[in-house]
Amino acid sequence: MKSMTILAAAAILACVGFTTGVAAQGYPTKTVRIVVPQAPGGASDALARIIGQRLSERWQQPVVVENRAGAGGVIGTDTVAKSAADGYTLLLAYDGTHAVNASLYKTLPFDPLKDFAAVATLANVPFVLAVNAASGAKDIKDFIERAKASPGKLTYGSAGNGSVNHLLGAMFGKSAGVQLVHVPYKGAAPAITDLLGGSIDSVFTSIPSVVSHVQSGRVRALAVTSGKRSAALASVPTIAESGLAGFAVAPWFGLLAPAATPPEIIKKINDDVVALLATKEVIDAFAAQGAEPFASTPAAFGAQLRGDIDKWAVVVKETGAKVD
């Protein structure tokens, strides 16, 4: 009797494994939604649309990008956390919406680790300190001198309170020994609009969100935040090169799914994303946005997310950044 029970249990497990395997092989059979928890015009939106189009072509199924901005990324992220765990709703996450928010908000309607499954990293994206082309600041040295000459006067815009843009400004101010005034916006696009109009002095923003304005000459990029120069702005030095040794930040962007998503489907998505990241079309499209393809396994992505939550917690504490 006992052996029969064991055999029955084994048969059930085999059927479950066969069913999930078949589901993964057939995936996707309908529209896949990528939720971007920021407004259109930023790096998350640009990367989601590039990879979404390529996945749609590969899968022969529609992949739609849905912008659900608000509360520093919390609204869109919560939408995915509470979605069906079937692989048809994915989150375009990055350091700012996932790792940083874990420390900025006292309470979140989701757990950034327990409620999500790491699926695939997409890219590392350097950010840039930029000013209006009419600004007297020609480089980082000029910018710092102007900030020191007028303490508490020079402004910088960001994508919102607690965003990576905000924290970069706070980190820069602390490293350079200057006091900058933070002006938060609801997304990168309106901050850049005000920079173009002269309402603010500078922005810390992702390269994809501002590269076209730099290339047109309307905006001057003073320095990139990464440890090495960006191919998209090869003539622009890093902040470290410009005198602030050790300054190096290039946030990751990647896809997450609701926690209970079958591992077979996660592997299927990861395999396809990794394959696309190696194609010339995606490499070129990312490069045009200042993004560097970054492929990894779901396990490695999960480990990185856990480590970055701890890393940004230190930055939030040291800079005193708040969301209100």
pLDDT band at 10 (very low <50, low <70, confident <90, very high): low
Of 139, 165, 276, which is closest to residue 225 (Cα–Cα)?
165
Percent of the chain clearing pLDDT 70 (strictly above) = 92
pLDDT band at 70 (very low <50, low <70, confident <90, very high): confident
Are 289 and 211 in contact by the 8 Å Cβ rule? The answer is: yes
pLDDT tens digits for range 255-297: 999 999 999 999 999 999 999 999 999 999 999 888 999 999 9
What per-residue confidence (pLDDT) applies to 104? 87
Look up residue 77 and give its two tokens: 């992220």
Of 217, 215, 216, 214, which is closest to residue 205 (Cα–Cα)?
214
pLDDT tens digits for range 162-205: 888 999 999 999 999 999 999 999 888 899 999 999 999 999 99
* Residues 6 or more apart in contact with residue 232 via CB below 8 angstroms: 207, 211, 287, 288, 289, 290, 291
With b meaning 16 or more CB within 10 Å and e meaning fewer, what string describes 232-262? bbeebbbbbbbebeebebbbbbbbbbbeebb
Please report, for the chain, the start and end positions of each structural domain, with discontinuous segments joined by +. 27-125+251-319, 127-233
Residue 54 in this model has a pLDDT that exceeds 50 = yes
Q: Does domain 27-125+251-319 have CATH number 3.40.50.2300?
A: no
Residue 16 in this model has a pLDDT that exceeds 60 = no
The whole-model pTM stands at 0.80
| Omega within 30 of 0 (cis) for the link into 28 | yes
With b meaning 16 or more CB within 10 Å and e meaning fewer, what string describes 275-303? ebbeeeebeebbebbbbbbbbbebeebbe
pLDDT band at 105 (very low <50, low <70, confident <90, very high): confident
- Show the beta-strand stretches assigned E in the chain: 32-36, 63-67, 89-94, 116-124, 127-132, 155-158, 181-184, 202-206, 219-224, 252-258, 292-293
Bridge partners for 202 per DSSP: 131, 156
CA 174, 180, 185, 190 torsion-angle sign: negative
Of 106, 6, 28, 77, which is closest to residue 258 (Cα–Cα)?
77
Tell me how far CA of residue 139 lies from CA of 143, 155, 175, 236, in angstroms.
6, 16, 16, 9
Do 27-125+251-319 and 127-233 have matching folds? Answer: yes
d(CA 107, CA 105): 5
Topology of domain 127-233, per CATH?
D-Maltodextrin-Binding Protein; domain 2 (3.40.190)
**DSSP string for 89-129:** EEEEEETIIIIIHHHH-S--SS-TTTTEEEEEEEEE--EEE
Look up residue 292 and give its two tokens: 């560097």
pLDDT band at 12 (very low <50, low <70, confident <90, very high): low
Look up residue 150 and give its two tokens: 């007028």
